[in-house]
Structure formats: C-alpha cells, structure tokens
Amino acid sequence: MDTRERRPDRADPVSPRTTLRARDAFAITIGVVVGAGIFRTPSLIAGVSGSEFVMLAAWVVGGVLSIVGALCYAELATTYPQAGGDYNYLRRAYGPRPAFLFAWARVSVIQTGSIALLCFIVGDYMAQIYDLGPLSSALYAGAAIVVLTAVNWLGTRQGATVQGWLTVAEIVGVLVIVVAGLWFAPGDIPPVPGTGGDSAIGLILVFVLLTYGGWNEAVYVTSEVRDAKTWMPRVLILSLIAIAALYVLVNLAYLRVLGLGGMAEHSAVAAEVMGRVFGPTGAVVMSVIVIAAALTSANATMITGARSVYAVGRDFPALDFIGRWDARSGTPRAAIVTQGVLALVLVVLGAFARDGFEVAVEYTAPVFWLFFLLVGIALFVLRRRDPDLPRPFRVPLYPVLPLLFCATSAYLLYSSLAYTGRGALFGVGVLAVGGVLLLMLKPTTRPEEALP
C-alpha cells in the first residue's frame, strides 16, 4: 500500500504529526490576519464611509461575519482534520478536479503572491532604514523569503517558534499605535472631519473583510495540532475576537489623531499617527512595526501554504515530489522549497513590473471569494453525504449561520467583481491554465473517500 495514502497518524513517519500546540495555531492565525493590511486599508475605508460610526461599525460587522465563517470552518476542520484545509473539503465535496483548480490558484498566485508582496513590504521599509540601491526592496524581499524558507525547512517546531516571537512583536507594535493615538496624541492639531457623504457599503465590506482575511489558514495545520478536535474551534473563534478588538482599537486611535477626513487623505495612516505623536523618531518606530507585521504574516503564510502544496502533491502522482512529508523535520520540505522558489520568481518579476504585479495579485480576489463560497456550500454537501460521520464540533444554529456565510461570500464575490472589472479576467486566466494542467494530470483515489 502506498504510505502517502494513509490517514494521518502519529505512528506514520511520512504523515503530519501532532507537533503544534494550540498557542502555535493561535499565533499562526493572528500572524496571517494582522499583517500590513491594517496599516493600509483604513484609509481606503475612511474614504468611502459617510461617518465615523459607519466605519467603526463595519469593523465590528467584519469581525462578526468572520466568526460566522470560522464556526463553519471549525466543523469542517474537526470532521476532516487531514492536511490541506480548504483543498480537502472541496475535494471531499466535489471531487479532485475542482479541488485542484483551487489548489492551483492558491499555489500559483494567491499564496505565493501574498508571500512575495509581504516580503516586498519588508523590503520597502528596510530600504528606508538602509538603502542598498535601485533594487534595494527586491533584494531585501528575496533575502526575507530565503531566510523564512530556511527556517521552515529546518522543521515545524522552528517555524512555529519564530512565528510565536514574531506575533508577540507584531501585537506589541500595533498596541504601540493604539496607545500613541489614544493617550499620547497632541491636542493642538484638530482631526479632519469626513465629508458626510453616502457610504459605499459593498466596497467597505470588501476592504474590511480583506483586512480580516486569512483566518481560515489555521485549518491547514489542523492535522499537526495536539487535541485539534477540542482546540481548533477555540483557536479560530478566540483569535478572531482578539483581532476584532485590536482592529477597533487601532481605528479609534487613527480617528482620534486624524479624524475621518484625515484618514482618507493619508494612505499611510499609521505612519502619519506615529509621526504626529513622536516626530521623526516615529517614522523609524513605524518602519520596525510594519516590518514585524509583514514578516509575521509572511512566515505564517509559508507554514500554511506549504501544506496546500503538499496536499496537491499527495493526490497527483505526476507531482509526487512535493507530496512527501519529511519524518526527521516534521515538515513537507519539498513543498516548502517549491513554494519559496515560486515566491522568489514573483519577486524577480515584481522588481521589474512592480505596479502591474501588485494589481494582478489583487485581482485574484474574485477567485478567492468564489472558492470561499464553494467551501460554505461544501458544508451542506458533506452533512448530507456523511450523515453518520462523527462531528466533534457542529455549527450552532444550523443551517442559518452557514447560509449567512454563503450569502456573505456570494455578496463579496459580486462586490469584488464590480470593483476589479476587467481585471477579474486575470483570475479567470489562472484557472484556465489550471484547467489545461488537469488534462495532463490524473488524480489518485484516497482510501478515506471510500469510507462512509
């Protein structure tokens, strides 16, 4: 029997092992979500919000909707705890080929693109501290990818340890902004009020939920978390409650110093706040905070992204080389290296076509919400298909909350298509290339898929 097709088991040396603690999963979730977005999107949200109340309410609503989605994912993660997260749920519900299209979009652009962009942010701010020349940002970005890839190649424990410390640094940094804005801001510069126009609710939610995006990444390490059936629902829900509280506080700090109009005027709202409070020193402090946040998200994205690559390699014999789990390090080493190489390629391309690259990655949002919607529908499909399968955690108020999750995803799919317009064709092109690859790849059949 092919050992790669066995169910994950602690005694199996080539399957994921339970080496992560609940706090490691918590740090990964926080790290993925609280990235550079909270330093960028508040300005965009303020620009399309008619009042301070609407803007703050949107962050609360975004947190609630994310928790609803997390409840749905908690049921899926504890019922089907294999490595691969969304990929596994889609495969179980719709078969290997639709699941491969998701994995292809994730591996080729969404995940590796996120890593590259996050490391570019590191490069931008490192270049402000010490400039290496015209390619300074790309060089720093490439170095960050190499270092983080090496850390995660060494082992799951090493990657999780780095993630824990980076997450602490990130949260401390965001709290510095909160304290600076709410307690130490000078009172002699009045905040700029908003225009008082109508609020673009759809666009506001696109940006808010983009900033909350990534909470579902925790499910990719479910098979490696100790007592995951008990802890994963708590990790998902508690991490989102903490993130929502942090986001509301930091936006209150932005509002107190800049006002709604001031937030809309300054794209780098956090830097503006720190500059007003601490002067030139604030710029350096802000650079360190953003670097910590971007590195935290990049490292967490590498941890979860490699599990996607591994899951695809396990299911398609032609990609066997990336579907192997290294027993000594407790990581999918080949998948980690493959992901790092792809991210480096994107950094090289981004060094010569930076703006176009960023826009191209952003335009994958419709693809992301499409598969999010399909995962929500998969919950209903799998409840019907596997009625007798033990479910350690069940979504409360079923089917109301899953329907709300699906409706939100459908609305965000529509809103992101309206926002990107023709740019959405980029995401369609990515899926089309994946469709061509499917003609040449033959999936294996998992033994557990034949189980009741």
Which tokens belong to 87? 């990929």
pLDDT tens for 147-157 read 888 888 887 66
- Nearest Cα to Cα of residue 242 among 294, 174, 177, 162: 174
Q: Is the pLDDT of residue 27 over 80?
A: no
**What is the reported pLDDT for 362?**
56
Global pTM? 0.77
| Assigned token pair, 212 | 């909350």
Q: How many CB atoms lie within 10 A of CB 57?
A: 15
> Is the Cβ–Cβ distance between 250 and 178 less than 8 Å?
yes
**pLDDT at residue 7 greater than cutoff 60:** no
Per-residue confidence band for 190, with pLDDT thresholds at 50, 70 and 90 = low
Candidates 269, 173, 197, 214; CA nearest to 85 is 214
Q: Find all residues with CB under 8 Å of 113, minimum gap 6, and list them.
A: 346, 360, 361, 364
Residues 158 and 152: beta-carbon distance below 8 Å? yes
How far is residue 339's CA from residue 430's CA, in Å, rounded to a whole number? Answer: 17
Q: How far apart are CA 231 and CA 243, in angstroms?
A: 18
Distance CA 260, CA 53 (A): 10
Q: Residue 261 CB: number of other CB atoms within 10 A?
A: 16
pLDDT of residue 248: 94
- Given a contact cutoff of 8 angstroms between Cβ atoms, the answer to whether 254 and 269 are in contact is yes
Rg, Å, the chain Cα set = 21
Three-state secondary structure call for residue 174: helix
**What number is the average pLDDT over the span 88-113?**
82
Angle at 76 between CA 71 and CA 78, to 5 degrees: 95
- The model's pLDDT over 271-313, given as tens digits with 9 standing for 90+, comes to 888 888 888 788 778 778 888 888 888 887 887 777 777 777 7
Helix runs in 106-227, H state only: 111-129, 136-154, 156-183, 201-212
**Residue 373: pLDDT band by 50, 70, 90 thresholds?**
very high
Look at residue 447 in the predicted model and tell me its pLDDT. 54
Residue pLDDT, tens place only, 218-247:
776 666 777 767 777 888 888 899 999 999
Asked if pLDDT for residue 2 goes beyond 50, the answer is: no
Residue type, 290: V
Burial of 397 (0-12, 13-18, 19+ CB in 10 A): exposed
Query: How far is it, in rounded angstroms, from Cα 211 to Cα 412?
Result: 13
Taking phi over 0 as left and psi of -120 to 50 as alpha, with beta for the rest, 191 belongs to beta
- The residues that bridge with 433 in the sheet, in sequence order, are none
Sketch the domain layout of the chain as residue ranges.
20-441
Choices 1.10.10.1100, 3.30.70.120, 1.20.1740.10, 1.10.760.10: CATH for 20-441 = 1.20.1740.10
How far is residue 215's CA from residue 211's CA, in Å, rounded to a whole number? 10
pLDDT of 196 over the 70 cut: no
Which stretches within 333-392 are classed as H helix? 333-352, 354-362, 365-385
